[in-house]
Amino acid sequence: MSSERPPLSGPPDTPSPDRFAGAPAEYEGPVYVIGPRPPRFQHRYWVHALWLLATVVTTTVAGAMHYYAFLSGFSGPPPPITWHMLWGGFWYSGTILAILGAHEMGHYVMCRHHRVDATLPYFLPAPPPILTGTVGAFIKIREAFPSKAALFDIGVGGPIAGFVVLVPALFLGLGMSKLEALPATFEGLSLGEPLLFQWATRLVWGAIPDGVSLNLHPMGFAAWFGLLATALNLIPFGQLDGGHIAYAALGPRATRISLISVVLVVGMTLASWSWLFFALLMVVMFFVLGPRHPRVPDEHVPLDPVRLQIAVAAAIIFIICFTPAPIEPYQLISNP
């Protein structure tokens, strides 16, 4: 996610006596001209707007499908398809775009704070049948991190900002959900429940009896997806947010943790097929970018105590947002 600064302007064909009046007359070597630094934080707003608009469309369509399923319930007749259904899709799309947008703007604000050149967020649409309507968002950091403190702040700023938005969305979404009896025969998808999701469900609904399940409102599903996205970003690997945090906190020792993370994620595909795509992505990143995190100038300078405490908080967020089996097929066939 980093790139080198633009090179200095190249040597002209001939030296310039006017600019180098003090140079010896017999000098015939190359002359390097240091020009003004290119403008920073320059954005092509229309490009970001188009990607955002496309993602609004795909997430709203996905949200309408979730709203349709929510109104249908587990066994009731499907409702008629109306414009009201499409408007209902905004429960999901507005929530997930707010969570992803807060995450990326957390990165961006920290980049501005440390004067590290970066783009505005690019949102990534995903058309049906992908349930989420998006595969996330990202910003492109266009120069190297100047210090360990800057690396840490930029890495941790995104997950914390997204987490602050998704927690109230989770409680609101659970509050609008419904408890419904499971039918004798039912086929669908089962969502893994992170610790935070379990705690919030118990606070809102108490103990859910056997034979009854939570029919999740689209806003609740958006918050669930936000939990999953936060956990994936906080995996301590490579140049993921968790990799930035681990390297800033542990230095070169983070390479060993990065290797362990790859092995564990690949191993989890044996327990749940839903890890397959992310495991392949991590393997590609491992071989293309290498196991080591790009170095910063003050690599061996320890983080200050406040940032170390924030690193511990980020680790706790990872634990309570993580689920070992995110999405699994579910089939219920009861004996009469």
Return d(Cα 144, Cα 180) in angstroms, integer: 52
pTM of the model: 0.84
CA-based nearest residue to 66, from 219, 234, 273, 292: 219
At residue 37 the predicted structure's pLDDT band, cuts being 50, 70 and 90, is low
Band (pLDDT 50/70/90 cuts) for residue 3 is very low
Percent of the chain residues topping a pLDDT of 90: 62
Whole-number pLDDT of residue 99: 98
Residue 330 is predicted with a pLDDT of 65
Domain presence at residue 212:
yes
pLDDT of residue 208: 87
Residue 134 lies in a domain: yes
Residues 6+ apart with CB under 8 A from 203: 171
* pLDDT of res. 304: 94
In this prediction, residue 82 carries a pLDDT of: 74
Asked whether residue 218 is assigned to any structural domain, the reply reads yes
Per-residue confidence (pLDDT) for residue 303, from 0 to 100: 93
- Summarize the confidence of residues 45-61 as an average pLDDT: 95
Q: How far apart are CA 1 and CA 16, in angstroms?
A: 39
SS3 136: strand
Q: Which pLDDT belongs to residue 21? A: 44
Does residue 37 lie within any of the structural domains? no
Cα–Cα distance measured from residue 137 to residue 139, given in angstroms and rounded to the nearest whole number: 7
Which of 279, 294, 278, 317 is closest to 103 using CA atoms?
317
pLDDT value at 36 more than 70: no
What is the DSSP code string of 164-232?
Answer: HHHHHHHHHHHHT-EEEEPPSEEEEEEE---HHHHHHHHHHH-SPPTTEEEE--HHHHHHHHHHHHHHH
What is the number of structural domains in the chain? 1
| pLDDT average, residue stretch 307-315 | 97
CA distance 140 to 3: 9
Q: How confident is residue 185, by pLDDT bands cut at 50, 70 and 90? A: low
Question: What is the spatial distance between Cα 197 and Cα 206, in angstroms, rounded to a whole number?
Answer: 13
20 pLDDT above the threshold of 60: no
Specify the pLDDT at position 39.
65
Amino acid at position 252, single letter: P
Is 32 in a helix, a strand, or coil?
A: coil
Tracing tokens 């604000």 back to the chain, one arrives at 109
CA end-to-end span of the chain: 57
Is residue 126 within 8 Å of 92, Cβ to Cβ? Answer: no
Q: What is the mean pLDDT of residues 298-313?
A: 93
Q: Residue 7 has what pLDDT?
A: 36
Q: Does the structure show a pLDDT above 70 at 66?
A: yes
Backbone angles phi, psi at 328, to 5 degrees: -135, 145
pLDDT at 17 over 60: no
Q: What one-letter code names the amino acid at 186? A: F
Per-residue model confidence (pLDDT) at position 184 = 63
- Model confidence pLDDT, tens digit, residues 128-176: 888 899 999 999 999 999 999 999 999 999 999 999 999 999 999 999 9
Note whether residue 66 is domain-resident: yes
At 336, the pLDDT band (50, 70, 90 cuts) reads very low
What average pLDDT is seen over the chain? 85
114, 117, 131, 147, 155 from 41: Cα distances, Å: 12, 6, 34, 19, 18
User: How far apart are the C-alpha atoms of 68 and 268, rounded to whole Å?
Assistant: 32
Reported confidence tier of residue 305, pLDDT bands at 50, 70, 90: very high
The answer as to whether 8 is a domain residue is no
1 in a structural domain: no
The tokens of 226 are what? Answer: 């936000």
Is 94 contained in some domain? yes
- Before 183, cis peptide (omega within 30)? no
Task: Indicate the residue type of 195.
Answer: L
pLDDT(11) > 60: no
**Residue numbers of the domain that contains 238:** 45-333
* Token pair of 282 as six digits: 């991590």
For residue 243, pLDDT over 60 is answered with yes
Residue with token string 């089996």: 325
Q: What token pair was written down for 19? A: 């600019």
